[in-house]
Amino acid sequence: MITGDDFYKVMCAMVPLYFAMLVAYGSAKWCKIFTPEQCSGINRFVAVFAVPVLSFHFIAQNNPYQMDTKFILADTLSKVLVLLLLSVWAVFINGGLDWLITLFSIATLPNTLVMGIPLLKAMYGDFTQSLMVQVVVLQCIIWYTLLLFLFEYRAATLLIRTQFPGPKAASISKIELDNDVISLDGRDPLRTESETDGNGRIRVRIRRSTSSAPDSALSSSIGLTPRPSNLSNAEVFSVSTPAPLQEYRGYNGNFSHGQSNEIMLCNGDLGSGYHRSGTSPRLSGYTSSDVYSLQPTPRTSNFNEWDLTNATSTPFWVRSPVAGKISRQPSPAVPELRLVWSESPVICPNGGGKEIAEKEISFRDNCKMPAPEETISKEAVAGQEMPHAIVMLRLILVVVGRKLSRNPNTYSSVLGLLWSLVSFKWNVGMPSLVKYSIKIISDAGLGMAMFSLGLFMALQPRIIVCGKKKAAMAMTIRFICGPIVMSTASVAVGMRGVRLRAAIVQAALSQGIVPFVFAREYGLHPDIMSTGVIFGMLVSLPVTLLYYIFIGLGG
């Protein structure tokens, strides 16, 4: 039976977290204290320092030699069961890999670190902290890695379908990546180079578009200097000494005048576009993917640094995240210019060409950008073949390893686990100097994580982005199906009593942040995941309290 004191203890643990989120929301939404760029700086601190140090702090204090086998087995069994059911649905009922990834993320990966530890500790006692830490370790090391593997596999299949449609992809014997290719998520436009040997086997090299562009266009003679920008899924490159168009070779003098005075030309990967309009580009700052993202901190881009009153036409380069093309544009200092990019060149050196629809650069909502699979016909998908499984496996393992190596949470989880193994094995205590240095940052971790979520919520145009039907589906899976599967798995392994109740409440927590970050980076249902994070955070407290009360009445 739940008493008033029990309820008050839970509220004492959760209200401070929601207070931090509310203060951040009001500061950015109503008081305008923080600009989007400042919000990005706060988020950067949370992603690189607060959350990783918080993870290390909890994991290092947990005794890995006293792990609850039944609880871990129940948690693992529930996730495996969901993955198997979704796999059967995807393969035999044509559900698709995209929905498998999204539904698996919603159903099985809650926000255990930020919400689970303080909530379960207040509900069922200090021993639940060890249970939640064990779940966090498995999530960081196993389940997030598996999720990243699925995202990269999806990105790799899209790349293969786009660059090698039909049966010729089956002839690929080796896929290599340049050292600067970190991921296939599309944030950095990629291009492929292939060569065929005498036996018909194809060797493919994947490289970033800028690193493989023709030297005549991207040589140091024009002063191409990459700089981080605050543009969402677009990067701006300043050119200090532009070369006139006549100096670019390979175009054969062919220009195409599109609608509204648009001029397009091509040279391999290079495309140039001019379009006159009264619309000027918007500056972007704190985008949806900035929450716990590891991308460089957005800052004021080259648009802010140029004198907009200057009439000089300094060109610059932009890159399309969808098509992987580079467009050379006039400076925004020239009035009535709108930035456009193209999926493919309009006029090719051989004189042939085709009309394409223009795309405006959306600096804030790249969900509006068409996904690569939309350009692939159904006939091509039906007859599409893929490289050998070993070739794909090597490719995905390389990119997953590179991405994990740049994630601070990977190091914090592994180092925390290693330290706990050494510390509890030989009874070695952490030096006080190191211990309190970590503690001072980890103590701020929970509050700063919730503060960052509040800023993220304040900068979104709507709480429910994906529509009411999809939102209802996501909430049902998150708060009903997830606890049902977890309770079934827990009973199956023989778990009873307080641990069973803790397992059910833990499964009813709000949507995890990391799956949303992946969804945004890879462009897979980010609207649904965003709604799961924002709206789920709001309803999570009353839902978990209801579970806590009703389970207590039954026990």
Are residues 395 and 173 in contact, defined by beta-carbon separation less than 8 angstroms? Answer: no
pLDDT score for 160: 92
- Is the CA virtual torsion 103, 107, 112, 114 positive or negative? positive
Looking at residue 437, its pLDDT comes to 94
Distances (CA, A) of 429 to 60, 134, 282, 423, 434: 11, 20, 53, 6, 11
Task: Name the pLDDT band for 382 (thresholds 50, 70, 90).
Answer: low
Residue 234 has pLDDT above 80, yes or no: no
pTM of the model: 0.72
- What's the Cα-to-Cα distance from 33 to each of 26, 29, 38, 104, 458, rounded to whole Å? 9, 9, 9, 37, 12
Burial (CB count within 10 angstroms: exposed 0-12, middle 13-18, buried 19+), residue 378? exposed
Average pLDDT over the chain, rounded to whole?
A: 76
pLDDT score recorded for residue 289: 43
- The pLDDT of residue 237 is above 50: no
Question: Could you identify the residue written with the tokens 């985008």?
Answer: 287
pLDDT at 298: 45
- Run of H or E including 271: strand 270-274
pLDDT band for position 379 (50/70/90)?
low
Model confidence pLDDT, tens digit, residues 413-432: 999 999 999 999 999 999 99
Question: Quick one: pLDDT at residue 252?
Answer: 41
- For the stretch 148-192, pLDDT in tens is 999 999 999 999 998 888 888 889 999 999 998 999 987 888 888
3-state class (DSSP) for residue 239: strand
Residue 370: alpha-carbon gap to chain centroid: 17
Residue-wise burial string across 103-122, b where 16 or more C-beta atoms lie within 10 A, e elsewhere: bbbbbbbbbbbbbbbbbbbb
pLDDT in tens, 322-342: 334 344 444 333 333 333 433
CB 197 within 8 A of CB 203: yes
As a whole number of angstroms, the distance between CA 139 and CA 133 comes to 10
User: What mean pLDDT comes out for the span 234-251?
Assistant: 36
Question: How far apart (Å, rounded) are the C-alpha atoms in residues 182 and 298?
Answer: 19
Phi first, then psi: give them for residue 158, nearest 5 degrees.
Answer: -65, -40
DSSP letter (8 states) at residue 485: H
Q: Which residues make Cβ contacts (< 8 Å) with residue 268, sequence separation at least 6?
A: 213, 214, 250
Instruction: State the pLDDT at residue 189.
Output: 85
Token pair belonging to 234 = 């677009």
Residue 99, pLDDT score? 95
- The answer to whether residue 284 scores a pLDDT higher than 90 is no
CB 144 within 8 A of CB 137: no
In angstroms and rounded to an integer, the radius of gyration of the C-alpha atoms of the chain is 26
Question: Which residues are 206's β-sheet partners?
Answer: 177, 192
* Residue 416 CB-half CA count within 13 A: 28
Out of 243-257, 283-297, 370-384, which region has the weakest mean confidence (pLDDT)? 243-257
Arithmetic mean of pLDDT, 183-203: 87
Q: Which residue has the higher pLDDT, 461 or 424?
A: 424
pLDDT at 86: 95
The answer on pLDDT for 377 being more than 90 is no
CA dihedral 89, 95, 101, 107 (to 10 degrees): -60
Residue 233: CA atoms inside 13 Å, Cβ hemisphere, count? 28
Retrieve residue 17's tokens.
Answer: 């977290």
| pLDDT tier, 44 (very low <50, low <70, confident <90, very high otherwise) | very high
| Residue among 497, 386, 422, 506 nearest 139 (CA) | 506
pLDDT number for residue 260: 39
Q: Specify whether the CB–CB gap between 351 and 330 falls below 8 A.
A: no
